[in-house]
Structure 1
Amino acid sequence: MTNPSRRRFLWRLVSRSGLMAALAPPALALAQTAPAVGAPTDWPTRPISLLVGFAPGGGTDLIARQIAPRLSQLLGQSVVIENRAGGSGTIATGQAARARPDGYTLLLGHVSSNAMVPAITQVPYAPATAFTPILLIGSVPQVVVVRAAAPPRSLKDFIAWTRGKPGGVNYASSGAGTQQHFAAELFQQATGTTMTHVPYRGSGAALTDLLSGQVDVNFDTVPTVLQQIRSGQLRALAVTSRQRAASLPEVPTLIESGVPDYEIGAWYMLMGPAGLPPPVVERLAAAMRQTLATPEVRARLEQLGTEIRILGPADAQAYLRAEITRWARLAAAKHIKPD
């Protein structure tokens, strides 16, 4: 082929290639120009781990087991609950912070490990920046419970009883920095009482010792102690929310019982490690909204005492930061230290 002929042949080839590129479908053109990494359009393709920072049977575990089956259906992959108890929830939380941000490791975030424990001790993650909040699910009020045989019949009785023996009343918690710990410290600040903290590795062990009389009181979540309240083994003195709990309508709030502005609850938030791709966040948030809108799931959560309050990713992030600030201030004011 002569040089002029060769040049004409190459020109026709280039022109045709340009025309083919121009006529290519948008998806094909995007595939030719955009990198595949960071665009998980087929997510999820394998099971998802949902980390829970407390032992089976506790409030966080119970909430996780209500949402996981429906979430699995909506995502088309199994959502497998993994209990990593210990460190007041920080073991599981730290594992989530270190996970690859690919959507296959999630955390059922909790007020203790995500806002309270970091207020009193160093944790192996930055609570405000190490996570991608996906959706605030809501909160569960706590309830002040004593054994049925204990002297106090009401919260006012309990306050008087505690004031009569400063430091002699022992309160249980699921560990230093948990919501039970902070609820009791907030209570002491508000009522001028003094109690002794007895931390456990989880709600189950704390409940066992409360029932056996090894400790005097607990500020536990409603789901954890609801069965024992209904069976008459424990006496509920007051709930920690501003309104009465739907599952315990006969039990007054602390505010009703004479403790002004007292409010605390165990909130739950679905989150992943920092840097979770926006498409994954959006799909998870949508699936969680659908899960919480499922009548059976919603009914079970409400039976457990959950007050559903949905906040999307941006609002959940703001809520998380506000909670971190709130509990850091209480820890500083009360000089709360790890036991």
Structure 2
Amino acid sequence: MRRRLLLALPGLLAVEAASAQTPYPTKTVRLMVGANAGGGTDIVARMLAEKLAESMKGTFVVENKPGASNTIAGDLTAKAPPDGHTILVATNTGQAIAPHLLRLGFDPIKDLIPIGLVVNVPNVLVVGASVPVNSVVELIAAMKARPGEFKYASSGVGSTQHIAGEAFDAAAGVKGMHVPYKGSAQAHLDIIGGNVQMMFDTTSSAMGQIKAGKFKPLAVTSERRSSELPDVPTLAEAGLPGFDMTTWYGVYVTAGTPPDIVTKLQAELTRIVALPDVQAKLRGLGGEPGTMSVEQFARFNAQEYERFGRLIREANIKPE
């Protein structure tokens, strides 16, 4: 009898472990996005919501909470019940940049658990179709000839677009006027309407306007050319070396979320990002799908926090 009990013990423990798993999801899961609908973060979040709903047999909805340099969504996630039913789809704007510029009610390193990297997207310098320049050289010459007249849009103070614009001004010896928005959608309308001349937008957000002929792409701000814009030079190729300003998109949950839910979400995200149709969509947005392990992304997240803090101090960027 004792031998039978011992032989049965591993099976009993497995049953107990399985029954101890936290049920998930048990209600609607909110994917928080710190920007308006239509922007790069929103596009990524809606794709993830669809895939998660399919595989996890639950309801996943995207909630747009623009403002405060994409940190409102992060604040809501950090303060949500730690049950995995609030997920943050964030960029380095909210996670690594804004904390150095704004007084936040949460700590993006301590109060959020990294789930994984979805995609890394280069920024592209675009001008409106009516702006009479067709290269970086021509843009610099025009900005020098008409100082203060060229306005550049961003998705907020301290965003990667803002930092790229400040770095461009310093490298090119020009001075553009920064015009911050709550997201890319309104900025696009003002560029198309001629109220703003230029923007360092993500390829994922700008690609539709580029394909429609409403934006002219002059250069990408990554080390290599974008696979979706192979004829567009890097800023280094255009004569301004040293630029590496990309926007990455990652997924986070509230600190304190049960480990089995965290593990389940990490496995699901890894599986989803590897799907052929998802890879194709991410590359179609001009991005490189994430390939980091969970541990690598956690380290990368912390390193980017430090890197952007240093860049902000060097450029003396202040909240407006």
TM norm structure 1: 0.87
The aligned amino acid for 1:282 is T
The aligned amino acid for 1:320 is N
Identity %: 38
Per-residue displacement from partner, 1:56-88 (whole Å, max 9, x unpaired)?
A: 101100111222211222222222111112222
Q: How many pairs are equivalent?
A: 319
**Residue 187 of structure 2: aligned partner:** 206
**Residue 109 of structure 2: aligned partner:** 128
Find the partner of 2:227 among 219, 223, 246: 246
The aligned amino acid for 2:82 is P
Find the partner of 1:112 among 67, 90, 93: 93
Distance in 2 separating the partners of 1:171 and 1:113: 20
Per-residue displacement from partner, 1:205-227 (whole Å, max 9, x unpaired)?
A: 11111111111111111122212
Give the SS at the match of 1:336. Answer: coil
CA contact (8 A) 1:21 1:29 kept: no
Deviates more, 1:70-79 or 1:252-261: 70-79
The aligned amino acid for 1:98 is K
**Residue 77 of structure 1: aligned partner:** 58
Distance in 1 separating the partners of 2:56 and 2:207: 32
The aligned amino acid for 1:167 is G
Distance in 1 separating the partners of 2:257 and 2:145: 53
Alignment of 1:270-309 (within 5 A): 270-309=251-290
Change (3 A) 1:30 1:153: closer
Superposed displacement of residue 28, structure 1:
5.1
Find the partner of 1:42 among 23, 30, 51: 23
Per-residue displacement from partner, 1:173-220 (whole Å, max 9, x unpaired)?
A: 111122211111122233232211111121111111111111111111
Alignment of 1:1-339 (within 5 A): 25-26=9-10, 40-339=21-320
CA contact (8 A) 2:202 2:247 kept: yes
Give the SS at the match of 1:266. Answer: strand
Distance in 1 separating the partners of 2:145 and 2:306: 34
Per-residue displacement from partner, 1:85-122 (whole Å, max 9, x unpaired)?
A: 22221111100111122111110021111111112121
CA contact (8 A) 1:66 1:300 kept: no
**Residue 11 of structure 1: aligned partner:** none
Deviates more, 1:98-107 or 1:276-285: 276-285
Deviates more, 1:237-246 or 1:272-281: 272-281
Distance in 1 separating the partners of 2:32 and 2:121: 19
Structure 1 unaligned regions, length at least 5: 1-15
Structure 2 unaligned regions, length at least 5: none
Per-residue displacement from partner, 1:260-285 (whole Å, max 9, x unpaired)?
A: 12011110011111223322222111
Distance in 2 separating the partners of 1:164 and 1:277: 59
Structure with max Cα Rg: 1
Distance in 1 separating the partners of 2:192 and 2:50: 32
CA contact (8 A) 2:225 2:232 kept: yes
Give the SS at the match of 1:311. Answer: coil
